[in-house]
């Protein structure tokens, strides 16, 4: 017996070693490159400064190619056509096979809520969700953080709070409120400190220290912004409380979505946009506000409001518009009673409105997409009570920008090129983010690698990095388009469900 054992042992050791070798070899192949254990504090899950990534499908500024991209010290150093071919300086290659490589998404409308409301969201949770979704840059809104970002001093508080907490790059919108519109030195101080532009509300914002602006305040703001050549972004709704609406508010069932919907009709958006386009005529070349730009956030009304914007564009006004994936995905008819996760303003309208909005996206009348990720705490969303009139308005979605847009978009004929234009190139130009938004030589290596054809369920097992996953109306859905890896300035910040240990995103300040 002993003898037999001694004979079998070397043989089995040999077999085990072989098996182990093949297993490791294959699993390395599956991982596509060796995983090296990182020390705490590292910015990247791939510890090389100089490497290539290759795939059969790379969306470059010259179109989709099969080939490789050379990344060196955070920037795109070269692009080589031909799958499997790399330049002579090959050090490390990550071969993604036929996964799709494209520029990272730039989400210009995100409420990160820090400092002051970290129980709602925060720099760490928000930017980790972004990284997990292939979003490599976000631009943070000046509310619902406390204090709101309306002066140089409050921007400094933001920057302090963001230190060592951001996993992707973050730019900041300042706020235009009556106080700094009337005292332009405060506004200039805020712009000098580096906000990419300012945002205002034409209706109550729901946040006490962010009062609404009238069109007169907006004109004051625009005359300052014209000098800086930075945009004004506007929540474009003006309250039009007709008698019948007031009555409905009192009588309708607050658990029915329609009761909320009728309280914020398209005429609110139309009224605001009418006032805005009356002002944007002066932004034309030679006009008194030349250099200023008005950007309408989260357009929901695809009828009269959109027509006003199209007409202003035709005239040559400096105006642009975004919409959000929830207006392109959901329709009011299908929102269940009591499901306040869907409450936002302006509201999600009917299916016909949604289809017209898609048409406008595909025809290029909508300039870009953004999430308007605006969570709160579950208690304020009133998930248990299900009261649409009292619940906080805001959709929680940041991590799902890409799969949600793609899932609905592909059914409407959206191409991968259009998707990237709407989520990367256009937002980069709009927010003045040089060196971002395209895979082009010299640009930041801000990249998402994803599988457009892969479907997955957003179930309880799915790794969601939002602060409050239960608030997202997308939970429970089946989506197309799985994010594999995300690079920010060459750092592999997210891979296969894991984040890099250190938060190495940088704040982006306008100069
Ligand atoms: N204070 C907010 O975050 N409001 C947001 N709320 C929404 N959209 O329902 C917004 O962007 O208007
Ligand atoms: Zn808004
Ligand atoms: Zn918002």
The DSSP-derived string for 180-227 is HHHSHHHHHHHHHTT-S-EEEESS--S-TTS----HHHHHHHHHHHHH
- Separation between Cα atoms, residue 445 and residue 438, nearest integer Å: 9
Mean pLDDT, rounded, for 174-200: 98
What DSSP state is assigned to residue 373? B
pLDDT at position 91 is 74
- Residue from 208, 213, 344 whose mutation best tests the ligand 1 pocket (most atoms within 8 A of CB): 344
> Percentage of the chain surpassing pLDDT 70?
90
Query: Above 0.90 for ipTM, yes or no?
Result: yes
Ligand 3 centroid – CA 509 distance (Å) = 20
pLDDT at position 161 is 98
- Separation between Cα atoms, residue 152 and residue 158, nearest integer Å: 10
Answer yes or no: are the C-beta atoms of 509 and 194 closer than 8 Å: yes
Q: How many CB atoms lie within 10 A of CB 229?
A: 14
Q: Which residue has the tokens 């790059």?
A: 169
Q: How many CB atoms lie within 10 A of CB 202?
A: 24
Residue 27 pLDDT more than 80? no
Mean pLDDT, rounded, for 132-142: 99
pLDDT at position 38 is 55
Mean pLDDT, rounded, for 74-87: 91
- Closest ligand 1 atom, residue 207 Cα: 1
Evaluate: CB of 121 within 6 angstroms of ligand 1: no
Ligand 3 centroid – CA 165 distance (Å) = 21
Which ligand is nearest the CA of 143, by number?
Answer: 1
What DSSP state is assigned to residue 444? B
Side-chain-facing half-sphere of 349: CA atoms under 13 Å: 23
Higher-confidence residue of 87 and 334: namely 334
The token duo for 308 is 């006003």
pLDDT at position 190 is 98
pLDDT band at residue 86 under the 50/70/90 scheme: confident
* Residue 295 phi, psi (nearest 5): -120, 120
pLDDT at position 398 is 98
Mean pLDDT, rounded, for 17-41: 42
How large is the C-alpha radius of gyration of the chain?
25
Residue 465 pLDDT more than 60? yes
Ligand 2 centroid – CA 107 distance (Å) = 14
- Separation between Cα atoms, residue 303 and residue 282, nearest integer Å: 24
Residue 88 pLDDT more than 90? no
Mean pLDDT, rounded, for 107-130: 98
């Amino acid at each position: 017996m002993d003898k037999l054992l001694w004979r079998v042992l070397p043989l089995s050791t040999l077999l085990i070693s072989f098996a182990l070798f093949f297993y490791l070899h294959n699993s390395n192949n599956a991982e596509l490159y060796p995983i090296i254990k990182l020390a705490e504090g590292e910015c990247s899950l791939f510890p090389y400064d100089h490497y290539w990534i290759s795939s059969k499908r790379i969306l470059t500024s010259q179109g989709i190619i099969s080939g490789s991209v050379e990344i060196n010290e955070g920037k795109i150093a070269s692009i080589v056509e031909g799958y499997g071919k790399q330049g002579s300086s090959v050090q490390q290659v990550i071969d993604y096979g036929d996964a799709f490589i494209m520029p990272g998404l730039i989400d210009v409308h995100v409420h990160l809520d820090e400092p002051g409301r970290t129980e709602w969201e925060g720099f760490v949770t928000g930017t980790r969700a972004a990284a997990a979704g292939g979003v490599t840059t976000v631009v943070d809104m000046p509310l619902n953080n406390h204090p709101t970002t309306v002066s140089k001093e409050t921007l400094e508080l933001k920057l302090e709070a963001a230190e060592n907490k951001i996993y992707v790059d973050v730019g900041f919108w300042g706020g235009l409120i009556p106080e700094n519109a009337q005292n332009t030195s405060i506004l200039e101080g805020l712009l000098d400190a580096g906000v990419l532009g300012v945002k205002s509300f034409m209706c109550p914002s729901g946040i006490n220290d962010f009062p609404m602006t009238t069109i007169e305040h907006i004109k004051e703001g625009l005359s300052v912004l014209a000098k800086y050549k930075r945009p004004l972004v506007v929540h474009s709704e003006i309250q039009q409380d007709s008698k019948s609406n007031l009555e409905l508010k009192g009588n309708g069932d607050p658990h029915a979505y329609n009761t909320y919907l009728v309280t914020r009709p398209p005429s609110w958006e139309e009224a605001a946009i009418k006032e805005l386009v009356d002002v944007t005529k002066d932004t034309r070349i030679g006009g008194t506000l030349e250099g200023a730009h008005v950007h309408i956030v989260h357009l929901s009304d695809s009828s009269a409001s959109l027509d006003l914007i199209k007409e202003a564009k035709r005239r040559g006004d400096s105006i642009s518009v975004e919409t959000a994936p929830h207006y392109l995905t959901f329709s009011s008819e299908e929102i269940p009673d009591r499901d306040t996760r869907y409450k936002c303003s302006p509201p999600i309208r009917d299916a016909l409105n949604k289809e017209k909005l898609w048409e406008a996206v595909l025809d290029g009348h909508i300039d870009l997409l953004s999430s308007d990720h605006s969570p709160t705490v579950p208690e304020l969303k009133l998930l248990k009570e299900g009261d649409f009139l009292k619940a906080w308005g805001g959709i929680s979605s940041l991590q799902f920008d890409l799969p949600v847009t793609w899932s609905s978009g592909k059914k409407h004929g959206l191409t991968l090129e259009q998707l990237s234009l709407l989520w990367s190139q256009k937002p980069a130009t709009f927010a003045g983010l040089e060196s971002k938004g395209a895979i082009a030589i010299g640009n930041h290596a801000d990249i998402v690698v994803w599988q457009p054809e892969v479907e997955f369920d957003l179930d309880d097992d799915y790794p969601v990095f939002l602060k409050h996953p239960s608030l997202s109306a997308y939970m429970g859905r089946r989506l197309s388009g799985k994010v594999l890896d995300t690079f920010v300035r060459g750092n592999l910040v997210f891979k296969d469900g894991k984040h890099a240990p250190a938060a190495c995103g940088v704040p982006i300040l306008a100069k």
